[in-house]
């Protein structure tokens, strides 16, 4: 988070903008301080802001499966309060990082797609029950929720290579059958020029590895999108590289890396800051309408990596390993 903030301040300095930062608690820190994972003050501040930058939540301290209060509830509540139903997760393989991926080089060439994950519906938000010997999580989707996410994805596809892949589990789930029918109708009626492919989620998990370069825009429901994007991060080389933007009907957005709080390396100063820095670029682009500034940030990350800047997660062989602050400082030098 500190890296993201420093980058935004550097952009403000260089381009003569003034950003007002308001720091609020969410997740475990909020539970420790107030007893709830998303205090009212945090919600109010986020609703009043033009954009929200979020550090990852969660950790072993708050991971008891029987706990009533959990950090993740705060994140879900924030997404829901901000009504950011469309979560954009771009996955692009940098040629310099091909070696960091477990996949073979020839499969990775030209990989450049965006997963559009539905973020405020489905099984994440359905009624949950738990008794001594049973538990249930309800998955519900309404037609309007499917229509609006499909439109976001289809518009994105129209601005890219014109290909949309919708992922569901229509051979088993009723919500997926509504999803598939709705996608087919919206695409036929509103986007006849966009090529539509439909995949079952199990097959999609395989195709992401066997032909990742074929995908342009992938649209899917909340939980499938969560799972497939962690898988997809391995194409890019590390979970520590991938940013995300969560958008709703207004320009206000929520920006966060797709990675979690990585408790295994917490406090060591070795986390890759690229994901939060790239999330700041998305923030500049989608909420502040500063396309040039966004591109400058993305270019700075690219140059640092191109010149050999490697945090531990993407270092291989004899690469010199940078700490979080060293990588961030390298980006900041590009921005100055
Ligand atoms: C993500 C995370 C969250 C999610 C968790 C922390 C609730 O895994 O943003 O991908 O499942 O949405
Ligand atoms: Mn996830």
CATH code of the domain covering residue 205:
3.40.718.10
Token pair listed for 161: 């290579």
291 inside domain = no
Instruction: State which ligand 1 atom lies nearest to the alpha carbon of 87.
Output: 9
- Ligand 1 centroid to residue 226 C-alpha, Å: 7
66 inside domain = no
304 inside domain = no
What is the C-alpha separation between 214 and 91, in angstroms, rounded? 13
Among the bound ligands, the one closest to the CA of 244: 1
Q: Domain total for the chain? A: 1
Cβ–Cβ < 8 Å for 35, 84: no
Which residue is closest in CA terms to ligand 1's atom 4? 226
166 inside domain = yes
89 inside domain = no
Instruction: Note down the domain range covering 115.
Output: 102-236
275 lines ligand 1 (CB under 6 A): no
70 inside domain = no
pTM: 0.96
- What per-residue confidence (pLDDT) applies to 332? 98
- What per-residue confidence (pLDDT) applies to 307? 96
224 inside domain = yes
Residue from 55, 50, 13 nearest 275 by CA: 55
What is the C-alpha separation between 241 and 257, in angstroms, rounded? 8
How far the first Cα of the chain sits from its last, in Å, is 20
137 inside domain = yes
- What per-residue confidence (pLDDT) applies to 299? 98
Q: Name the stretches of the chain with pLDDT < 70.
A: none
Going by their DSSP bridges, the two strands 243-247 and 86-92 should be labelled as: antiparallel
Q: What angle do CA 238, 78, 239 make, to 5 degrees?
A: 0
């Amino acid at each position: 988070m500190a890296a993201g903030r420093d980058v935004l301040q550097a952009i403000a300095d260089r381009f003569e903008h003034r950003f007002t930062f308001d720091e609020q608690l969410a997740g475990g820190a909020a539970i420790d301080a107030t007893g709830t994972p998303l205090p009212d003050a945090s919600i109010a501040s986020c609703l009043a802001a033009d954009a929200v930058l979020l550090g990852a939540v969660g950790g072993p301290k708050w991971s008891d499966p029987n706990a009533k209060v959990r950090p993740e509830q705060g994140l879900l509540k924030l997404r829901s309060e901000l009504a950011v139903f469309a979560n954009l997760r771009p996955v692009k393989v940098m040629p310099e990082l091909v070696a960091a991926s477990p996949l073979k080089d020839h499969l990775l060439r030209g990989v450049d797609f965006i997963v559009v994950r539905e973020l405020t519906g489905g099984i994440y938000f359905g009624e949950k029950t738990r008794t001594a010997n049973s538990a249930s999580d309800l998955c519900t989707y309404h037609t309007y929720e499917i229509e609006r996410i499909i439109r976001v994805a289809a518009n994105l596809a129209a601005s890219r290579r014109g290909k949309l892949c919708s992922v569901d589990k229509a051979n088993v789930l009723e919500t997926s059958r509504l999803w598939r029918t709705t996608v087919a109708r919206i695409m036929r009626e509103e986007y006849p020029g966009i090529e539509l492919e439909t995949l079952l989620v199990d097959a999609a998990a395989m195709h992401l590895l066997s032909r990742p370069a074929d995908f342009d825009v992938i649209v899917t429901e909340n939980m499938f999108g969560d799972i497939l994007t962690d898988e997809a991060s391995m194409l890019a080389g590390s979970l520590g590289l991938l940013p995300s933007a969560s958008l709703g009907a207004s320009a206000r957005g929520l920006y966060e890396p797709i990675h979690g709080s990585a408790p295994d390396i917490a406090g060591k100063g070795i986390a890759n800051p690229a994901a939060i820095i790239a999330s700041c670029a998305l923030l500049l682009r989608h909420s502040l309408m500063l396309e040039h500034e966004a591109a400058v940030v993305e270019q700075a990350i690219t140059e640092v990596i191109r010149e050999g800047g490697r945090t531990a997660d993407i270092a291989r062989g004899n690469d010199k390993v940078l700490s979080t602050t060293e990588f961030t400082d390298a980006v900041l030098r590009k921005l100055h």
